[in-house]
Structure 1
Amino acid sequence: MDTLILTLQLFTSLPLNKGVEVSDERLIRSVALWPAAGIVIALFEALIFGAAVHILPVSLAAALALLGELWMTRGFHLDGLCDTADAYFSSRSRERMLEIMKDSHIGTFGVVAAISDLAFKYLLITASKMPLFLILGAPVAGKMVQGLCMYKANYPRESGLGKSYIGRIPLHIAVISAVFGASWVIITLFSGIICPGIGSRTTVAIWILFLVLSLCFVLAWLFRRRMEKAIGGMTGDTLGAASELIEIFYMLLIVVMEGVL
């Protein structure tokens, strides 16, 4: 329970004031529960959207849901995406990229990344035939790939929070995190409330969804490889960037899946 509380304190704005001992061992174990934080974020965002869409247009409900997500997450992963974009697109040396990531100021590429991130999420939610499914699945999809991004990865800095778990999590923690997150995504799709009416095409939908999940893990792996070549490994910022990119990629694939079904 303390490990779960630590996870929620790290990723959400929930008022959990219980003091929890922070150790490398607990941080490593907590990776298995990172999708649980994604579930909390998704449920909060879905609650806002579900309530707003009954009295407001879908476009405004989507905007409120995204604002709710930003409040709940404190823009934690979005900040990582901005820092990663500023560093990567600077085309500087590896050492300079790492310095740029530590800089608290946001640059042009970071601003573009943040605007693009929110714009794509907004457009995909409003374009979807089942926006609640996108909202309930995307934050968890972003968390389920984190174990893959960290397992046996190099941490290119001398110190930092990421040093506690990047490259140090065992295989079973990465697998539990991936299975936990993927299971939530699969279950939400086929719940009768979120996605009714698939009917006889359920089998087709299952195969397409497994393809979607597989592509998300492939993209996460490719992103990790790209970061290893650019900065020598994975950092907390690049983990945040991976989460945001997978969320958008996942939502895009689901909108495509809707067209196929």
Structure 2
Amino acid sequence: MDTLILTLQLFTSLPLNKSVEVSDERLIRGVALWPAAGIVIGLFEALIFWAAIHIFPISMAAALALLGELWMTRGFHLDGLCDTADALFSSRSRERMLEIMKDSHIGTFGVVAAIADLAFKYLLLTASAMPVFLLLAAPVAGKMVQSLCMYRAVYPRKSGLGKSYIGRIPLNIAVISALFGVLWVAACLGAGIIFSGIGCRTATGIPALFGVVALCFLLAWLFRRHMEKTIGGMTGDTLGAASEIIEIFYMLLVAALEGVL
């Protein structure tokens, strides 16, 4: 329970005031529960959207849901995306990129990344036939690939929060985290297809579900490989960037799936 509380304190704004001892061992065990934090975030967003859609147009409901996400997450992963964008598009040396990521100021590319992130989410939500199920699954999709990004990865700095778990999580924790997320995402997508009224035969629907999940893991692996070549490994910022990228990629895949089915 303490590990779950620490995980929620790390990723959410929930008022959990219990003092929990922070240790590398607990942080590593907590990776298995990262999708649980995604579920909490998704439930909060979906609740806001569901309540707002009964009062406002879908455009306003989507905007309120995204504002709710920013409040709940404190922009934790979005900040990592901005820092990563500033570093990667600086065209500087590996050492300078790592310094840029540590800089608390946001640059032009970081601003562009944040705007693009929120704009894509907004447009995909308003265009979806299953927006509630999309909100329930997207944050978990971003979390389910994190173990792949960390397992046996290199942390390119001497110190930092990411050093506690990047490259240090055992295989069983990585598998539990990934499977936890996969089951939730697949269940939400399947329920969304059924309850949204999208016509779908089982013969095409089940492969489509696992195809979406597989493509998310493939993109996460490609992102990790690119980071290893560019900055020498994975950092906390690049983990945040991976989470945001996979969230949007998942939503794009669902949009494509809606069109096909």
Aligned to 1:81: 81
Matched to 1:104, the amino acid is S
Unaligned runs of at least 5 residues, structure 1: none
Tell me the equivalent position of 1:202.
202
SS at match of 1:64: helix
1:29 counterpart SS class: helix
Structure 2: runs of 5 or more not aligned: none
2:169 is the alignment partner of 1:169 = yes
Structure 1 residue aligned with 2:28: 28
Letter in 1 for 2:24: D
Contact 1:130/1:194 (CA < 8 Å) preserved in 2? no
Identity rate, percent: 82
Q: 2:95 is matched with which residue?
A: 95
1:117·1:248 contact (CA, 8 Å) conserved in 2? yes
Shift of 1:162: 0.4
Aligned equivalents of 2:104, 2:36: Cα separation in 1: 28
Q: Over aligned residue pairs, what C-alpha RMSD do you find?
A: 1.3
Equivalent runs, 1:5-24 vs 2, <5 Å: 5-24=5-24
AA aligned opposite 2:143: K
Amino acid at match of 2:30: S
Code of the residue aligned with 2:220 in structure 1: it is A
CA contact under 8 A between 1:162 and 1:236: conserved in structure 2?
Answer: yes
For 1:57-85, what per-residue CA distance to the aligned partner results, in whole angstroms no more than 9, with x for missing partners?
10110000000000000000000000000
Aligned-partner SS, 2:132: helix
Q: What displacement does 1:191 show?
A: 3.1
Q: How does 1:217-232 map to 2 (within 5 A)?
A: 217-232=217-232
* DSSP 3-state at the match of 1:248: helix
The amino acid across from 1:240 in the alignment is G
TM-score for both structures, normalised by structure 1: 0.98
1:10 Cα offset (Å): 0.0
Deviation at 1:187, TM superposition (A): 1.4
Structure 1 runs, 4 residues or longer, greater than 2 Å off: 189-200
2:119 aligns to what? 119
Kindly tell me: are residues 2 and 194 of structure 1, through their superposed partners in 2, closer, same or farther at Cα, counting changes over 3 Å? farther
Shift of 1:195: 2.7
> What CA distance in whole angstroms lies between the structure 1 residues aligned with 2:86 and 2:202?
43
Q: CA deviation at 1:147?
A: 0.1
| SS of corresponding position for 1:213 | helix
Q: How does 1:1-261 map to 2 (within 5 A)?
A: 1-191=1-191, 195-198=195-198, 201-261=201-261
Instruction: Give the number of equivalent residue pairs.
Output: 261
TM-score, normalisation: structure 2: 0.98
Conserved 8 A contact 1:144-1:178: yes
The 2-side partners of 1:192 and 1:181 are apart by 16
1:202 deviates by 3.1
Q: Deviations over 1:182-238 (max 9, x none)?
A: 100111223379734356613312111100100000000000000001110000000
* Contact 1:133-1:194 at 8 Å conserved across structures: no
CA distance in 1, matches of 2:224, 2:196: 36
- The alpha carbon displacement at 1:166 in A equals 0.1
The amino acid across from 1:219 in the alignment is L
* 2:130 and 2:193 in contact (8 A); partners too: no
Asked whether the 8 Å contact 1:142–1:247 carries over to 2, the reply is: yes
SS, match of residue 190 in structure 1: helix
Contact 1:28 1:169 survives alignment (8 Å): yes
Which sits farther off after the overlay, 204-213 or 243-252?
Answer: 204-213
The residue type equivalent to 2:126 in the other structure is T
Q: Name the CA shift for 1:153/1:96 in 2 (closer, same or farther; >3 Å).
A: same
